[in-house]
Structure 1
Amino acid sequence: MRDRIDEEITFRKLEVLLAFMETGNLSKAAEALNVSTVSVHRALHSLEQGVRCALFRHEGRNLKSTEAAQMLADVAQEVLTTMSDGIRATREAAGYSSDRLKIGSLYSLTIRAVPGIVIDIKVRRPTLQVELALGSNAELLDKLKRGAIDAALMALPDADPEIESIPLFEDDIFFAAPAGSPYANQEAVDLCDCRDETFVSLGEGFVTYRGFLEAFRVAGFTPNVTMRVGDIFSLMNLVSGGVGYTLLPGRVRGVFGDQVQFIPLKPQFLMRQTIGVSFLRARERDPNLLALMAVCRLRTRSVI
């Protein structure tokens, strides 16, 4: 059984010891810690009582450290570092992180929404390091539940007791065609007229792909999809190159200029995505997430 540590030995007193050992002077240590010289002297004397041996000797009016004090200081440095790391790990396990925020996002939100949110949160918390992870709705939801990201900017997931979501904005889905296509001058596209067309799409897990399938279910046929890709910008490249048509959210309109045209769908095929920020309910009091939520709510009042 290990010896019990005397109650006179505290983390704060060990910090005082380290400050004194570094400065070699009572007044300088007091200045570094923003306390009085008397407080420093009292803390050092209290440590001597706690370890039950002399740590310092007087040389005239000066206090000098002994070999024993150096030994205690070396151990104190390790103890304080370990405890600081332990507190940080404990906070992270409880859903709190003080210096990093990992945000997951759909590719399509990196055009306008994500840059604005990151800038706003850096203004609120300048020392915060923001990391970005991109993926599909399914991938982001999985990362969120595994703790690989702190929050996700994505289409609102299905109701889940573990997840809290805040809606940000709604986005309509359009028929996307290359410039000069036969559909370019139509006011609205009837998908029932597209049975013989070739399509391209995102892969499974993307909310836009789920809407894509639902739209053609309403139209009563399975589209001829010649290629599936893993991000929305590659998808738009295929459309602009004439490989096939697709359905795209309005938030990416204009990214390819006039190369990709966005044409409304007939009323019976109208779809809308609700985009929001999602996070674990267990972490709703995380200061970084509270700052993120505040930024997102302010953004909701404007057009993202």
Structure 2
Amino acid sequence: MIDHRLHVLRALAEHGTVTATAAALHLTPSAVSQQLRGLAREVGAELLRPEGRRVRLTPAAHIVLRHADTLLGQWEALRAELARQNSAARGTLRLCGVSSALAALAAPAVTRLRQSHPLVEPLITEEESAECYRLLLAEEADVALVLPGPEAPPVTDTRFEQSPLLTDRQDLLVPDGHPFARRESVELAEAAGESWIVKKHNNDTYPLLTAACAAAGFTPRVTHQVKEWYAVSALVAEGLGVCLLPRIVPLPAHPVVRVPLCGGPAPVRRFLTAVPRGTAAHPLTAAGLEALHTAAAAHARGPEHRL
């Protein structure tokens, strides 16, 4: 019902080049160019202008994109309203998100979902937040658990419906025997001289760390670039550096100590749910969102309320 060429134009706006757009849509670059030329003829306006090896969207292209977002949102709302004619949510629900959110929130949510909606089959994919948004746009995911960051679209982006899910405080993780390990709490600024362990690329944690440290008045000196929490904890245990450990992440079985941070502003991670605009009311998506918010509320109340 919605002209596929609009999806191609949206993908080009997202990825920036014809080659990247073709890879994302599993098309050839020539097919992408051909479809965009056809769309330009259809709307009677120039949509692209060459700019070196790249192309630039014209003002007319941005007008088309704005209306395309509205059309696609209305189409999804139509599908959701029709789906609500059925009494039960059914089908495959594709969830994506960062690893810690999948472990702490998606896993118990899926258990609840299977109990309350036995006709729903959940599928889970781990990705960083920027990739989760891309999966939503490519119609390869239905619900994403994401963290706002420099590479994420703003909450005002009309392509998505985004809602707060959970605020997750972060603590300082230090080796057992570190001077901070005997403290009830420390201010983040006191750790300005420490070595830090965090992967800089393709990692939502890094911009959160740099933002928190900037607010505390320093730039962290990153010595080891490791991403997976168990490996990070192992390096901290060996005295190779410190890190910020989210409360949502269990304390690994290493000789390390989680030290609460005091003072302000306290570093936190704010999880959101994101879905393509118009889909939140679809019975399948709505069931998934309800299960996630129930899991987040139980997590916030404490271990005794979790599955």
Give 1:278's aligned residue. 274
| Distance in 2 (alpha carbons) for counterparts of 1:229 and 1:258 | 16
| Distance in 2 (alpha carbons) for counterparts of 1:165 and 1:133 | 19
Q: Alignment partner of 2:299: what SS?
A: coil
Q: In the superposition, relative to structure 1, how do residues 301 and 214 fare at CA in structure 2: closer, same or farther (>3 Å)?
A: closer
Aligned CA-pair RMSD: 2.8
Once the two structures are superposed, residues 253-288 of structure 1 have per-residue CA deviations (whole angstroms, 9 ceiling, x without a partner) of 32x146332212231341222223211113223221
- 1:72-151 matches, within 5 Å, as 98-151=90-143
How many equivalent pairs are there?
213
5+ long unaligned stretches in structure 1: 1-89
Q: In the superposition, relative to structure 1, how do residues 233 and 151 fare at CA in structure 2: closer, same or farther (>3 Å)?
A: farther
Is the counterpart of residue 294 in structure 1 residue 290 in structure 2? yes
Is the counterpart of residue 209 in structure 1 residue 201 in structure 2? no
Task: Tell me if the contact between 1:153 and 1:275 (Cα under 8 Å) persists in the aligned partners.
Answer: yes
| Distance in 1 (alpha carbons) for counterparts of 2:258 and 2:95 | 29
Larger Rg: 1
Task: Tell me if the contact between 1:137 and 1:205 (Cα under 8 Å) persists in the aligned partners.
Answer: no
Deviation at 1:124, TM superposition (A): 2.2
Q: In the superposition, relative to structure 1, how do residues 196 and 142 fare at CA in structure 2: closer, same or farther (>3 Å)?
A: same
Q: In the superposition, relative to structure 1, how do residues 200 and 297 fare at CA in structure 2: closer, same or farther (>3 Å)?
A: closer
Q: Alignment partner of 2:186: what SS?
A: coil
- 1:260-271 matches, within 5 Å, as 260-271=256-267
2:197 paired residue among 188, 197, 200: 200
| Distance in 1 (alpha carbons) for counterparts of 2:293 and 2:181 | 36
Give 2:158's aligned residue. 161
Q: Alignment partner of 1:129: what SS?
A: strand
Q: In the superposition, relative to structure 1, how do residues 221 and 294 fare at CA in structure 2: closer, same or farther (>3 Å)?
A: closer
Is the counterpart of residue 232 in structure 1 residue 229 in structure 2? yes
Q: In the superposition, relative to structure 1, how do residues 167 and 192 fare at CA in structure 2: closer, same or farther (>3 Å)?
A: closer
Once the two structures are superposed, residues 144-184 of structure 1 have per-residue CA deviations (whole angstroms, 9 ceiling, x without a partner) of 22222111122356312111123222111111112222210
- 1:167-178 matches, within 5 Å, as 167-178=164-175
* Structure 1 runs (4+) greater than 4 angstroms displaced: 94-98
Q: In the superposition, relative to structure 1, how do residues 131 and 171 fare at CA in structure 2: closer, same or farther (>3 Å)?
A: same
Opposite residue 264 of structure 2, the aligned amino acid is: Q
Once the two structures are superposed, residues 216-251 of structure 1 have per-residue CA deviations (whole angstroms, 9 ceiling, x without a partner) of 212333222112234333323332333211112111
| Distance in 2 (alpha carbons) for counterparts of 1:180 and 1:194 | 15
Q: TM-score if structure 2 supplies the norm length? A: 0.61
Q: Alignment partner of 2:182: what SS?
A: coil
Q: In the superposition, relative to structure 1, how do residues 239 and 168 fare at CA in structure 2: closer, same or farther (>3 Å)?
A: same
Is the counterpart of residue 189 in structure 1 residue 189 in structure 2? no
1:247 paired residue among 239, 244, 248: 244
| Distance in 2 (alpha carbons) for counterparts of 1:262 and 1:143 | 34
Give 2:6's aligned residue. none
| Distance in 1 (alpha carbons) for counterparts of 2:174 and 2:248 | 16
Give 1:152's aligned residue. 144
Q: TM-score if structure 1 supplies the norm length? A: 0.62
